[in-house]
Amino acid sequence: MLKTMKNRYSGNYSKSHDENMIQQDGRFDVSRRRFVQGLTTGGVLAGLGMLSPQLMAAASAMQEIAILDGPVFDLTIDEVVVNFTGQRRVATAINGSIPGPTLRMREGDDITIRVTNNMSESSSIHWHGLILPSNMDGVPGLSYAGIRPGETYVYRFKAVQNGTFWYHSHSGFQEQTGMYGSIVIEPRKSDPVRFDRDYVILLSDWTDEDPHRVYAKLKKMSDYYNRRERTVFDFAAEVRKMGLKKAIESRAMWNRMRMSDRDISDVTAYTYTFLANGKTPNQGWMGAFRPGEKIRLRFINGSAMTFFDVRIPGLKMQVVASDGQYIKPVHGIDEFRIAVAETYDVIVQPQHGGSYPIFAQAIDRSGYAFGTLSSNGQKAAVPPMDPAPILTHADMGMSMEGMDHGSMAGMKHGMSDGSGGMAMDHGSMRYDINAGLSKSRVKIKLGPQVDMLAMNPKVRLDDPGVGLRNNGRRVLTYADIQNLYPTRDRRPPNREIELHLTGNMSRYMWSFNGVKFNDSKPIGLRYGERVRFTLINDTMMNHPIHLHGMWSELESGNDGYLPRKHTIIAQPGAKISYLVTADAKGQWAYHCHLLYHMKGMFRRVVVA
């Protein structure tokens, strides 16, 4: 069995995962593993066939994730057996639970976290968004060697901030198999936000498939999990809407580029079950309230690949924090998009009793995570799903005034290397990138690593994104966010680092500037300097970009109150910029936080 687990995580397969885990008589072998405790007693009993699904759902909905109070924590990493979908599968858990326990700390305290690896392979924990020494950051190969089987690693750092954060494995695909949890750091001084109840809502995605198999399928067929490609019925609807000629031209354009306007998510509910605090939509997480109370909801997107669009029908949200940092409250929000690894704190105040749904739709509308705020213990009704979104020319970086979108003049039809994709009739595109104090010319070419380049990327801070535009609800955008406190470093940047987010979708290859991580050089920063990072997204995917160890201050239009974030969405075909003060020496990871993109879209940042 240990050999099976090693093969499972290394990606070497002699038999399928299901074949390895089933005995000859067809029964699942759990003799050398234990069921996950954190799915509640009800969930375990249901897994053993001792509770009906109805009783299991009622018992588990009110169960809370374990909370551990600091400043000293003891955590274990274990292989456990779980059952989210009716199928028993092996998962990776912290202290036997999925999600792991919530770690509550206090700003200013000296934190000690002892992590013991009980698995048969190496592991790690990264404290996402926490400002700490580089050797405590938890990234194998940069911060340390990782935590070997049977060993204990002791993390020590001072909690120099407060707010909502999270933690997860930075080893292989362990994050996808359940290794994540939430962090709440209480302010040492009075909290600027007033509330009566405080809940963490940790969103995630679960698959019964081995994540190595998911990745292998994407490499062979990037749209394997996309079950919403265009059909003849869609074409008929387009003809009714825009006329036969324009419908044919639009379809021909996408066909020539060998791309799909339905390419929203790489991995969908075809394999994913979306969870809220470890609860499936059928179970549904539940939080209690009394009418008139102010409820703080700390939303964390701990998924591997899923963007969520969150709303609470019947309640307006006041957004008070972004990525653990207090912002000037944004009132009257109906909905917000939360990227993988982002966090948002909101305040809601139900004036009447009853049940309110917490509805987190996947960006591609293939499924949702679900919870309930209830004064009577009743589960709320699930609202209808929004229509599946469709990409536009703007999402391809081709929204150009006066441009003939029918003919798409200036575009070649196909690729010289036969790989498909979109090419521009102007050869390669050259950009200035400041690799040091002097500029260097970088040439980005269409080719094996790059199948698309945005022709006219624009800053779209006030754009809520595909699927949220003009939906009749007030949707939070980056343009709404201003830090609650004045910008600390008011110096202008002394240089700019421009990075293109590039990929070849048909080959499922991801990179920065057309160069994958294994072939890249580190990004060097001088200690103390102020640098502007500009991201240009040359792909049709949203990418959540995360810089470890330092704040990314989003250039949102008010330099006096720049929002401080650890993860920033780069929208398809758009550009976005933020300022970084290189105030932390050491080696830091910089990457797209979509788990199956990270292998290529990754850089090492060295501050010296």
Question: Does any domain span residue 252?
Answer: no
Q: Which of 339, 362, 390 is the last residue of a domain?
A: 390
Upper half-sphere CA count for residue 59 (Cβ side, 13 Å): 15
Residues 456 and 556 in one domain: yes
What pLDDT digit, counting tens, does each position of 335-361 carry?
999 999 999 999 999 999 999 999 999
Q: Would you place residue 241 in the very low, low, confident or very high pLDDT band (cuts 50, 70, 90)?
A: confident
Question: Does any domain span residue 37?
Answer: yes
Question: Does any domain span residue 254?
Answer: no
Buried b (16+ CB within 10 A) or exposed e, 271-307: bbbbbbbbbbbebbbbbebeeebbbbbbbbbbbbbbb
Residues 539 and 402 in one domain: yes
pLDDT in the model for residue 483: 98
Dihedral sign (CA 413, 417, 418, 420): negative
Q: Within its chain, how far is the Cα of 532 from the centroid? A: 23
Name residue 498's beta-bridge partners.
534
pLDDT in the model for residue 420: 35
Say if pTM beats, i.e. exceeds, 0.95.
no
Of 125-129, 183-187, 307-311, 501-505, minimum mean pLDDT range: 501-505
Kindly report the backbone phi and psi dihedral angles of residue 3, in degrees, each rounded to the nearest multiple of 5, phi listed first.
-65, -40
pLDDT in the model for residue 445: 81
Return the higher-pLDDT residue of 257 and 238. 238
What DSSP designation does 304 have?
S
What pLDDT digit, counting tens, does each position of 524-578 carry?
999 999 999 999 999 999 999 999 999 999 999 899 999 999 999 999 999 999 9
Residue in the structure block whose two tokens are 């293939």: 366
Q: Within its chain, how far is the Cα of 259 from the centroid? A: 24
Residues 542 and 561 in one domain: yes
pLDDT in the model for residue 298: 98
Question: Does any domain span residue 180?
Answer: yes
Whole-angstrom distance between the N-terminal and C-terminal Cα of the chain?
A: 45
CA–CA separation, 39 vs 283, rounded Å?
11
Residues 483 and 519 in one domain: yes
Q: Which of 142, 174, 191 is the last residue of a domain?
A: 191
Residues 491 and 371 in one domain: no
How would you class 187 by CB atoms within 10 Å of its CB: exposed for 0-12, middle for 13-18, buried for 19 or more?
middle
Question: Does any domain span residue 510?
Answer: yes
Residues 376 and 458 in one domain: no
Q: Which of 165, 191, 217 is the last residue of a domain?
A: 191
Residues 283 and 267 in one domain: yes
- The per-residue DSSP string of 235-289 comes to HHHHHHHH-HHHHHHHHHHHHHHT--TT---SS-TTTEEEEETTB-TTT-EEEE-
* Long-range contacts at 228-231 (CB < 8 A, ≥ 24 apart): 228/262, 228/364, 228/366, 228/388, 229/260, 229/262, 230/254, 230/260, 230/261, 230/262
Residues 199 and 165 in one domain: no
Residues 381 and 505 in one domain: no
Question: Does any domain span residue 206?
Answer: yes
Residues 106 and 25 in one domain: yes
pLDDT in the model for residue 531: 98
Nearest 10 degrees: CA dihedral of 488, 490, 494, 495? 70
CA–CA separation, 16 vs 365, rounded Å?
30
What pLDDT digit, counting tens, does each position of 442-479 carry?
678 888 899 888 888 999 999 999 999 999 999 999 99
Count: domains in the chain: 3
- The per-residue DSSP string of 311-335 comes to E-TT--EEEEEETTEEEEEEEEE-E
Residues 289 and 215 in one domain: yes
CATH number at residue 121: 2.60.40.420
Residues 164 and 207 in one domain: no
Cβ atoms within 10 A of the Cβ of 432, count?
10
Question: Does any domain span residue 247?
Answer: no
Upper half-sphere CA count for residue 198 (Cβ side, 13 Å): 12
Q: What residues contact 381, with CB distance under 8 A and at least 6 apart?
A: 355, 357
Whole-number average pLDDT of the chain:
83
Question: Does any domain span residue 253?
Answer: no
Provide the residue range defining the domain that includes 57: 2-191
Q: Average pLDDT, stretch 309-313?
A: 98
3-state SS assignment for residue 388: coil
